[in-house]
Structure 1
Amino acid sequence: MAKALVIGANGFIGSHLVDALVSAGHEVTAFDRFSSQEPTFDAVGVRLFRGEFLSRSDLEEAVAGQDIVFHFLSTTSPATAESDPTLDIRTNIAQTVELLEACAAAKIQHFYFASTGGAIYGPQGKERYSEEDRALPISPYGIGKLAIEHYLSYFEARYGLQSTILRISNPYGTRQHPNRRQGLIPIALRQIAAGQPVLQYGDGSMVRDYVFVEDLVHMIVPMVERDTRHRLYNLGSGGGQSIADILESLRRVTGVSFAVEVRATPSTFVDKVVLDTSRMTEEFGTPELTRLDEGVAATWSEILENP
């Protein structure tokens, strides 16, 4: 079993990843600020490292003695990167390069990066996107993720730092921070809980690949336990749901006939993104996926318990 460092361990995906790694028997160090709350993961025996991602010395101390590193922290969301692209460059990209330098110096065996499958392929008009398709992002968030992917190639060529890129679709589920305005499902559910209209961009036909977060981390953990065939994987449900489909699920689960506020679709939004996940399923098998209504119900229950 590996000594694993999770950067962003108290975040949405990171906290579930900590639980899954511990369950699989790995020795986990959880890196996060842990400033506003206690750890959100359930696992016991996890070493907590209270650190700042923007601190080079904190990163160097955290990676020392680790076997593998999972980088699941982002200082921006698609919306904040859009409003200030330089923030993404100055923090996410620049600091990830510093993290990679620290990992190379510490002789980390493997580095796993949470990229984006929802924004990185851009508006190419395909029914679904495979890892063989070109990455043509038009949003600052997607551009930043692609830049980091290229830096991973550089660090492998220059320093021998092995890495795996995880292009994740549109995850949803429990433990999504209420102040982080990312993801249609959690944002809409919180609007419903507050008695507010649900915001809809466009006519409801925009399609995304939604994957329940617990299903997602169960796709990731097996990659740690064997030599993988590829260094890039699409991770998602492999199917698409329109905004209209999602809103109907929210109505079924909540029992609320909420109002909808329609706004124009931002120019950097892509009309349809569904990931081809056959590379992952052929190598690791077809995962059991949580039904949309079941995943929405779990998310809704947590929001009601923690308004």
Structure 2
Amino acid sequence: MKVNNTLILGGTGFIGSALTKILKNENHYLHLTVRDGKYSDEPNIKHHNISIKAVDALADLIENEDISTIIHCASNLIPSSQFVDFYAENENLILPTISLLDKIKNKEILYVYFSSGGVIYGNHANIPTNETAPLNPLSYYGLSKKIIEGYLHFYSSNFKINHLIIRPSNPYGSDQHKDGVQGFIATVLHKIINGMPIEIWGDGSIIRDYITIDDLAWATKELINKRVQNETFNIGSGDGHSLLDVINVISNITSLTPNLTFSSARNIDVKTVILDIKKLQGEINFIATPLVDGIRNFYQKIS
């Protein structure tokens, strides 16, 4: 079987690390871009200290290593990012991505892009929301995803590049940062274990679709290995849980009482995110881990 030479942009981040773990045993030789040179290579994995802004260096790597799949996990924004952050993202990631697409436009490469199912649809009337819904992001983070998706469609329609767009819901798992910046479940677990106050924006009724990072990585791996291309897939659980529901689940699992504080609701927060995953389930045999089981496994790994 031919080895799939795969480049992961942002390969040591939360999603990139999970994909690395599952793909390295799936006949993939992985090339990971990293932000520093402190990572050690291992069988089937090579690290490259190359910034996404170094477009020429990335293009040379793709040519020299005969890369057939690029997985784009890199992003510097979060849903609460402001215009100044978006402006920097445009210079540091969006424009370099477009330049890279132009460099490789005549190569038959599968470009897998991690967009966002959590913010890109905005407040939509149809819940659960499927992949054909209009894109109306409320945040600069969502806008950045929409822009890159648009360019991927353009280059796939007019050149040899093939795309696979992944719109994940809210992934969580034990390797996630617990600094409160992004990742509600990881943040709440960390704070409840350490007796820290948990800040809720609004009244806690916001509903989100949560998926374990292992489920997300597995589903992505299946789509890549099938060489599904020029398609967009929601990857989530298909179920919704309010913030207070999640906190109650964590409290029951840990037997700890949360210390909650409430702040004013933010206009960047979508009220309800539940992804329609019928298209995904029509392509692969996917069943998401129930929230209670996923949080319990997460807690057991970190406690």
Aligned counterpart, 1:293: 292
TM-score for both structures, normalised by structure 2: 0.91
**Counterpart code for 1:59:** L
CA distance in 2, matches of 1:50, 1:133: 38
Q: Judge conservation of contact 1:30–1:48 (CA < 8 Å) in 2.
A: yes
Q: Judge conservation of contact 1:69–1:108 (CA < 8 Å) in 2.
A: no
TM-score for both structures, normalised by structure 1: 0.89
**Alpha-carbon distance, 1:270 to partner:** 0.9
Change beyond 3 A, Cα 1:34–1:288: farther
CA distance in 2, matches of 1:244, 1:273: 15
Aligned counterpart, 1:57: 56
Q: Are residues 1:69 and 2:64 paired?
A: no
CA distance in 2, matches of 1:260, 1:225: 44
Change beyond 3 A, Cα 1:199–1:38: farther
Q: Are residues 1:189 and 2:204 paired?
A: no
CA distance in 2, matches of 1:189, 1:119: 23
Q: Are residues 1:104 and 2:105 paired?
A: yes
Q: Are residues 1:18 and 2:20 paired?
A: yes
Change beyond 3 A, Cα 1:153–1:177: same
Q: Judge conservation of contact 1:169–1:234 (CA < 8 Å) in 2.
A: yes
Q: Tell me, what secondary structure is at the counterpart of 1:78?
A: coil
Aligned counterpart, 2:129: 129
Runs of 4+ residues over 4 Å off in structure 1? 301-304
Change beyond 3 A, Cα 1:76–1:29: same
CA distance in 1, matches of 2:69, 2:30: 10
Q: Deviations over 1:260-304 (max 9, x none)?
A: 01111111211101000000101212x232232332234334545
Change beyond 3 A, Cα 1:302–1:94: farther
Q: Judge conservation of contact 1:10–1:34 (CA < 8 Å) in 2.
A: no
Q: Judge conservation of contact 2:162–2:230 (CA < 8 Å) in 1.
A: no
**Alpha-carbon distance, 1:44 to partner:** 4.2
Change beyond 3 A, Cα 1:235–1:29: same
CA distance in 2, matches of 1:49, 1:14: 14
More deviation, 250-259/144-153: 250-259
Aligned counterpart, 1:93: 94
**Alpha-carbon distance, 1:6 to partner:** 0.9
Q: Judge conservation of contact 1:155–1:161 (CA < 8 Å) in 2.
A: yes
**Alpha-carbon distance, 1:137 to partner:** 1.2
Change beyond 3 A, Cα 1:266–1:140: same
**Counterpart code for 2:198:** V
Aligned counterpart, 1:84: 85
Unaligned runs of 5+ in 1: none
What percentage of residue pairs aligned between the two structures are identical?
A: 26
Q: Judge conservation of contact 1:88–1:141 (CA < 8 Å) in 2.
A: no
Q: Deviations over 1:91-139 (max 9, x none)?
A: 232122123223326x242100000001011112322100111111121
**Alpha-carbon distance, 1:200 to partner:** 1.2
Aligned counterpart, 2:164: 164
Q: Judge conservation of contact 1:128–1:276 (CA < 8 Å) in 2.
A: yes
Change beyond 3 A, Cα 1:298–1:54: farther
Aligned counterpart, 2:248: 248
Equivalent runs, 1:189-268 vs 2, <5 Å: 189-228=189-228, 231-268=231-268
CA distance in 2, matches of 1:13, 1:214: 9
Q: Deviations over 1:223-276 (max 9, x none)?
A: 122243751111111111111111011112222112101111111211101000
CA distance in 1, matches of 2:184, 2:237: 16
CA distance in 1, matches of 2:127, 2:225: 32
Q: Deviations over 1:70-105 (max 9, x none)?
A: 001102222234663322322232122123223326
Q: Tell me, what secondary structure is at the counterpart of 2:24?
A: helix
